[in-house]
Chains A and B, each alone.
Chain A
Amino acid sequence: MKSVKTDTTITMPRSHPKKSSGLLRQMGKRLDLYLMLLLPVTWYVVFHYAPLYGLQIAFKNFNPAKGILGSSWEGFGHFQRFFDSYYFWRLLWNTLSINLFSLLIAFPIPILLALIINEIRNKTFSKWLQNITYIPHFISVVVIVGILNVFLSPHTGPVNLLIEAFGGTPIRFLEEAGWFKTIFISSNIWQNMGWQSIIYIAALSGVNPHLYEAAKMDGASRLRRIWHISLPGIAPVVIILLILDIGHFMNIGFEKILLMQNNLNLESSDVISTFVYTTGILKGEYSYTAAIGLFNSIINLVLLLLVNRIARKTSETSLW
């Protein structure tokens, strides 16, 4: 009995450290934990923070032979050249519009799907619906674009065969700039709505069932219950995901756009990130495209800060 008592008094300081003098000892005791962190933290320094250092080439004339430090300064010349270029407005408009339309159209759909799944009373059926809508998420973008090619092919694809069967003329969907955004966004919805709905379904399952019962007693219809109970119940999750989405606003769908792009639809498929790839990596204009990439990131960061602030003011939900 006595030994137990001394034991607890010895371990007491461990869980309640005194301030500064104890800190080093605290850290010393957790040396193995810091050792575990060594590799991951080094990795973050190298692969996430070192490229930030490399960003200075946006203000230089990078010459691989001279290295980052040795290259001469250029100032804002690359930015100026980009803003003055004939493709500046096209790139900016395509980047903004593809993302904005995605946000407006594709963002609410997983929420609707989750509400539908939540309203289905037959649990087996709703499980099936859920599991089936997840599947496309696991298919690679290359295959998705391959499927689009097959389906939308002018003379052999099912879509055009259907159009022809109804007496219409086939449409070269993938080679017309006017169709690009529609196809891009709707195929994204097809691929991701199920997966993205998971989080809303989880949030809906956390809503207190008594609220529904009470509303039912008061004679609220199903739609009213969705409007006044389900939606407010998941609102914080919706806001967080919206902010996160906007945090990636300027970067959505880069890989897929690159795969869907061809010379005929370039007018509406050329976005900042694909331009950085083709001009930077393929043509080796490192400094110029690093500047363009930086411009892209700055817009992105400003949007994120702005939306987070608005969310905090209006709904008290925010990332930080």
Chain B
Amino acid sequence: MSKQATLQTSSNERIFDVIIYVIASIIIIAVLYPLIFIVSASFSDPTKVLNGEVWLLPKGLTLDAYTNILHNEKIWLGYRNTIFYTVVGTVINIIMTVLAAYPLSRPDLPGRNVIMVFITLTMFFSGGLIPTYLLVKNLGMVDTMWALIIPGAIATYNLIVMRTYFQSSIPWELQEAAHMDGCSNWRLLVSIILPLSKPILAVMVLFYAVGHWNSFFNALIYIRNENLHPLQLILREILLISQSDAVDGSLGLEDKILLAESIKYAVIIVSSLPVLLMYPFVQRHFVKGVMIGSIKG
């Protein structure tokens, strides 16, 4: 009787395992397929893509789409602007977030709870799009690169994550000891706290940098000057609005449409690649960063 029961459960367990693996495999395929298709299409002859001959691997291997992108000034300009926004923006993000997170992590700071409430409240209400837009306009930031950097200088969620990390992962005794040795708070922050916070700094850099790299909406509202357009706005033009503009004007109409079609795939790859390349280096810190922020925050 009991033997039969255990046999039954073990075969049930096996069925369960099989179901789990099947579902997991379907998920992997569903996530990967569109990505693989885009990569393959970007290396394929555009006519074959349009005819539906490309399903998984590239057909009629060609680098035309990529060489075309190389000659596209708009994309280069967008790339340059986005790199600027990402680097300068992320540096400011990190400085501002640390400046707020560190003092607020100190249990001996009078009034820190009041300031914390003042900050956390902003997660739940805001003036909304129009008053914020008018503010940025009044500050004279519209149509300047600062509009994409200053209004987003701190993400409250990230600030809370960082504060929690300082509180929970750096022993308070260490800070007290440093104080007794006559170490100032600035020096404590720079030479003790920050070097001990590399994992969380890596996660923050990733979050902020990806945010800057991928953001398009702020540029859409605040930037009219085409010379300041970030990559995402140029992508939006190529992918969603007027595809053929991006292509060299000396070509015939039919070639133009074909190339516009293939350039789409290449442009997706080229624009997403930097972020995806960065990701394996910080990936192992993710779980920690996300967990600290969400559970204890």
Interface residues of A (CB under 8 A from B): 7, 11, 14-15, 23, 26-27, 30, 32-34, 36-37, 39-41, 43-44, 46-55, 57, 62, 68, 113, 116-117, 119-121, 125-126, 128-129, 131-136, 138-143, 145-147, 149-151, 156, 158, 161, 190, 194, 198-199, 201-203, 219, 221-223, 237, 240-241, 247, 254-255, 258-259, 273, 276-277, 280-281, 286, 289-290, 293-294, 296-297, 300-301, 304
Whether B28 and A128, one on each chain, are in contact in the complex, defined by CB atoms closer than 8 angstroms, is yes
* Contact flags B120-149 to A (C-beta < 8 A → 1, else 0): 001111111111111100000000000000
Query: What's the Cα separation between A11 and B176 when bound, in Å?
Result: 10
Whether A142 and B235, one on each chain, are in contact in the complex, defined by CB atoms closer than 8 angstroms, is yes
Of chain A, the residue at the smallest CB distance from B35 is: A135
Q: Which of B20-67 contact A (CB under 8 A)?
A: 20-21, 23-24, 27-28, 30-32, 34-35, 37-38, 41, 49-50, 52, 55
Whether B27 and A37, one on each chain, are in contact in the complex, defined by CB atoms closer than 8 angstroms, is no
Of chain B, the residue at the smallest CB distance from A254 is: B217
Contact partner of A198 (CB less than 8 A), chosen from B21, B28, B125, B290, is: B290
Say yes or no: is B236 at the interface (Cβ < 8 Å to chain A).
yes
Binds A, one of B69-77, B108-116, B194-202, B247-255: B108-116
Query: What's the Cα separation between A145 and B127 when bound, in Å?
Result: 28
Task: Assess A141 versus B110: contact at CB under 8 Å? Given A51-B131, A120-B21, A156-B49.
Answer: no
Whether A36 and B103, one on each chain, are in contact in the complex, defined by CB atoms closer than 8 angstroms, is yes
Interface residues of B (CB under 8 A from A): 5, 9, 12-13, 16-17, 20-21, 23-24, 27-28, 30-32, 34-35, 37-38, 41, 49-50, 52, 55, 96-97, 99-100, 102-104, 106, 108-111, 115, 118-119, 122-135, 150-151, 153-154, 159, 176, 180, 184-186, 189, 210, 213-217, 221, 232, 235-236, 239-240, 261, 264-265, 268, 271-272, 275-276, 279, 283, 286-287, 290-291, 294-295
Residues of B within 8 A of A203 (CB): 291, 295
For the complex formed, measure the closest distance between the CB of A43 and the CB atoms of chain B, giving whole angstroms: 6
Residues of B within 8 A of A237 (CB): 294-295
For the complex formed, measure the closest distance between the CB of B147 and the CB atoms of chain A, giving whole angstroms: 12
Task: Assess A120 versus B128: contact at CB under 8 Å? Given A156-B261, A222-B13.
Answer: no
For the complex formed, measure the closest distance between the CB of A260 and the CB atoms of chain B, giving whole angstroms: 9
For the complex formed, measure the closest distance between the CB of A36 and the CB atoms of chain B, giving whole angstroms: 5
Query: What's the Cα separation between A121 and B14 when bound, in Å?
Result: 12
Query: What's the Cα separation between A44 and B123 when bound, in Å?
Result: 11
Query: What's the Cα separation between A6 and B59 when bound, in Å?
Result: 82
Task: Assess A240 versus B276: contact at CB under 8 Å? Given A52-B131, A143-B268.
Answer: no
Query: What's the Cα separation between A150 and B236 when bound, in Å?
Result: 13
Task: Assess A142 versus B240: contact at CB under 8 Å? Given A37-B100, A116-B20, A219-B5.
Answer: yes
Residues of A within 8 A of B129 (CB): 273, 276-277, 280-281, 289, 293
Whether B28 and A150, one on each chain, are in contact in the complex, defined by CB atoms closer than 8 angstroms, is no
Contact partner of A57 (CB less than 8 A), chosen from B122, B131, B286, is: B131
Whether B135 and A296, one on each chain, are in contact in the complex, defined by CB atoms closer than 8 angstroms, is no
Task: Assess A55 versus B264: contact at CB under 8 Å? Given A30-B110, A43-B96.
Answer: no
For the complex formed, measure the closest distance between the CB of B60 and the CB atoms of chain A, giving whole angstroms: 15
Query: What's the Cα separation between A219 and B6 when bound, in Å?
Result: 9
For the complex formed, measure the closest distance between the CB of A152 and the CB atoms of chain B, giving whole angstroms: 11
Query: What's the Cα separation between A48 and B126 when bound, in Å?
Result: 6
Whether B125 and A138, one on each chain, are in contact in the complex, defined by CB atoms closer than 8 angstroms, is no
Query: What's the Cα separation between A126 and B104 when bound, in Å?
Result: 38
Contact partner of A296 (CB less than 8 A), chosen from B23, B97, B128, B272, is: B128
Whether B236 and A199, one on each chain, are in contact in the complex, defined by CB atoms closer than 8 angstroms, is no
Whether B279 and A149, one on each chain, are in contact in the complex, defined by CB atoms closer than 8 angstroms, is no
Query: What's the Cα separation between A10 and B146 when bound, in Å?
Result: 49
Q: Assuming A53-B127, A133-B28, A135-B31, what are 16 further A-B pairs, CB within 8 angstroms?
A: A30-B103, A34-B103, A36-B185, A51-B126, A51-B127, A68-B134, A132-B31, A134-B283, A147-B34, A147-B268, A190-B34, A202-B287, A221-B16, A247-B123, A247-B124, A276-B129
Query: What's the Cα separation between A6 and B101 when bound, in Å?
Result: 34
Of chain B, the residue at the smallest CB distance from A37 is: B103
Residues of B within 8 A of A131 (CB): 283
Contact partner of A125 (CB less than 8 A), chosen from B24, B135, B261, B272, is: B24
Of chain A, the residue at the smallest CB distance from B221 is: A281
Residues of B within 8 A of A30 (CB): 103, 106, 108-110, 185
Residues of B within 8 A of A222 (CB): 12-13, 16
Whether A36 and B99, one on each chain, are in contact in the complex, defined by CB atoms closer than 8 angstroms, is yes
Whether B235 and A146, one on each chain, are in contact in the complex, defined by CB atoms closer than 8 angstroms, is yes
Residues of A within 8 A of B176 (CB): 15
Task: Assess A156 versus B28: contact at CB under 8 Å? Given A139-B272, A198-B290.
Answer: no
Q: Could you write out 5 A-B pairs with CB less than 8 Å apart? A: A26-B110, A113-B27, A116-B24, A150-B264, A290-B131
Most buried by A among B31, B210, B261, B287: B31
Contact partner of A156 (CB less than 8 A), chosen from B24, B52, B184, B272, is: B52
For the complex formed, measure the closest distance between the CB of B278 and the CB atoms of chain A, giving whole angstroms: 9
Query: What's the Cα separation between A125 and B266 when bound, in Å?
Result: 30
Whether B38 and A150, one on each chain, are in contact in the complex, defined by CB atoms closer than 8 angstroms, is yes
Residues of A within 8 A of B118 (CB): 41, 44
